[in-house]
Amino acid sequence: MQKKYLMTPGPTPVPSEVLLAQARPMIHHRTPDFSAMLMECVDGLKYVFQTANDVLILACSGTGAMESSFANLFCAGDTVIVARNGKFGDRMVSLAKVYGLVVVDLTYEWTEVVRPADIAKALEEHPDARGVVVVQSETSTGVLNDVEAIGAIVKDFDDCVFIVDSITGIGAVPCLTDEWHLDVVMTGSQKGLMLPPGLAAVTVSPKAWRAYERSTLPKFYFDWMRYKKNLDKQTTPFTPAVSLVVGLTEALRLMREETIEGIISRHSRLAEATRKGCEALGMKLFAPPEGRGSAVTPVWVPEGVDGKKIVSIMKNKYGVTIAGGQDDYVGRIFRVGHLGYFGDFDIITTLAALEMTLAELGYDFERGAGIKAAEAVFMGE
C-alpha cells in the first residue's frame, strides 16, 4: 500500500465530513429538504464571497462559469479589456473571441503582475469597453493580481462590469466582492471549496444584472436569469448536481467554523512555509514578491535537474502528487498546491518527498533544510 497525498491546486483533497455527506442516499431535488440545503448553500457562499449580491450555483467546472459570464453580460461586437498573465487569462481571451467580442488584450509575462494603471489607461482609450476581465489568482503561475485596485478603477464606469476569476482565490486569499466593487466573481468546487469537481458558483452585482438586460448573446443552460428566478422559489432550473450540493452544505459548515479570516491566515502560513522551504533548498520562486498568492507555490526547477522527473518520482515513488508547469513552463517549474483542505504537515510531507526526490536526481543541497525552514514558519520563529 502507498498512502497518497494530493498536493495540486485542483482537484484538491476532500474532507471526510464532505465525502460522507455525499455518500448519503440520493434525494429528489424538488423537495423541501433539497430546497433547504440549496438556500443554506447560497447563504454560505455569500459569506465566503463576502457579498450581498446574488450567488448562482451552476453544474459545471470553473470554465462553465467563465463562459457563462461572457454569454450573460455582452452582445457580439462589444469591447472587453482582458488582462492576462497566465493560462487562465489566456482562456478568458479565447472565450471572449468565441463569443464575437472585440478584445483589448493586455498581455503580460507569466512572471508579472497585472498593473492597475494599465487598466485605467485602457479604459481611457476604449471608453466604449463593456467589461474588464482579470484572473485574481493565476493557478498556472501563483501570481496574485490586485483586483481591489482594479475594482476601484472600474467602479466609476457605469456601463462597464468587472469580471473576476477567483477560482483559486476564494477560500485562499481575501476576496471582498462588495467592498472591492467586483461585479462578477466565480469559483469552482474542486478548489478552495474542498469538494469534488463539477460545481461552480458565480456572484452577480446589480450593475452586472443591468449588463445582462442589454445582452443579446445566445444562452440557455447557463442563462443566469433562469437560476435567479428559480432561486427566488428556492429551486434550480434544471436537475442540480444533488450530491455536490449536499457536500457543499458540509464544506461551507466547515468554512464557517474556521471563519474566512482563519482560512486566509492558514493559507498564508502554508504558502509561507512552502516558499521558505523551497528557498532553503536553494531554489527560486516563480511568482514575483509583489504578487504571490496563497493557493499554489510555483518553483523554478534547479539548473541541471529534469523537472518532469521531479513530478514523476514524487508521485510514483512517494505517492505525493504535485503539479508541473503549463504551456511554456512544462518541465521548467513545478507547482505545490495548498488550497483548501490542507494543514501544516501536508507541507512538511511534501517538502520531505521533494528533498528525497532532489537527492535522487543528484541535486546538491543540505538535506533537511527545507523541512527545517517550514517548521520554523509553523512554530512562529
User: Cα-flanking dihedrals φ and ψ of residue 182, to 5°?
Assistant: -95, 115
Site for ligand PLP (CB under 6 A): which residue of 68, 85, 139, 236?
Answer: 139
Between 167 and 311, CB nearer to ligand PLP: 167
Which positions from 167 through 206 interact with ligand PLP, judged by CB under 6 A?
Answer: 167-168, 188
Between 6 and 281, CB nearer to ligand PLP: 6
Q: Which amino acid is at 88?
A: F
Between 191 and 269, CB nearer to ligand PLP: 191
Which ranges of 130-183 does DSSP label H, i.e. alpha helix? 147-154
Between 165 and 355, CB nearer to ligand PLP: 165
**CA 377, CA 381: separation in Å to the nearest integer?**
6
Q: Binding pattern to ligand PLP, positions 286-325, x when CB under 6 A?
A: ----------------------------------------
Q: In 3D, which of 66, 139, 113, 158 has the Cα closest to residue 333?
A: 139
Q: Number of helices (H) and strands (E), helices first, in the chain?
A: 13, 14
CB 260 within 8 A of CB 115: no
What secondary structure, in 3-state letters, does 85-133 show?
CCHHHHHHHHHHHHCCCEEEEEECCCCCCCCHHHHHHHHHHCCCCCEEE
Site for ligand PLP (CB under 6 A): which residue of 35, 63, 111, 268?
Answer: 63
User: Cα-flanking dihedrals φ and ψ of residue 112, to 5°?
Assistant: -105, 160
Cα separation values, 268 from 28, 210, 295, 374, Å: 40, 36, 8, 13
Asked if 68 touches ligand PLP (CB under 6 A), the answer is: no
**CA 262, CA 309: separation in Å to the nearest integer?**
36
Kindly state the helix (H) or strand (E) to which residue 5 belongs, with its residue range: strand 5-6
Piece of the chain touching ligand PLP by CB under 6 A; list 16-24, 121-129, 162-170, 219-227:
162-170
Q: In 3D, which of 210, 214, 147, 211 has the Cα closest to residue 181?
A: 147
Q: How many residues of this chain interact with ligand PLP, rule: CB under 6 A?
A: 11
CB of 193 to ligand PLP, least distance (A): 11
CB of 167 to ligand PLP, least distance (A): 4
CB 125 within 8 A of CB 115: no
**Nearest residue to the partner ligand PLP, using Cβ:** 62
Between 168 and 350, CB nearer to ligand PLP: 168
Asked if 90 touches ligand PLP (CB under 6 A), the answer is: no
Site for ligand PLP (CB under 6 A): which residue of 61, 203, 249, 294?
Answer: 61
Between 164 and 358, CB nearer to ligand PLP: 164
Asked if 10 touches ligand PLP (CB under 6 A), the answer is: yes
Between 53 and 141, CB nearer to ligand PLP: 141
Asked if 340 touches ligand PLP (CB under 6 A), the answer is: no
Site for ligand PLP (CB under 6 A): which residue of 34, 88, 162, 342?
Answer: 88
Between 294 and 357, CB nearer to ligand PLP: 294
In the complex, the residues that contact ligand PLP under the rule CB under 6 A are 10, 61-63, 88, 135, 139, 165, 167-168, 188
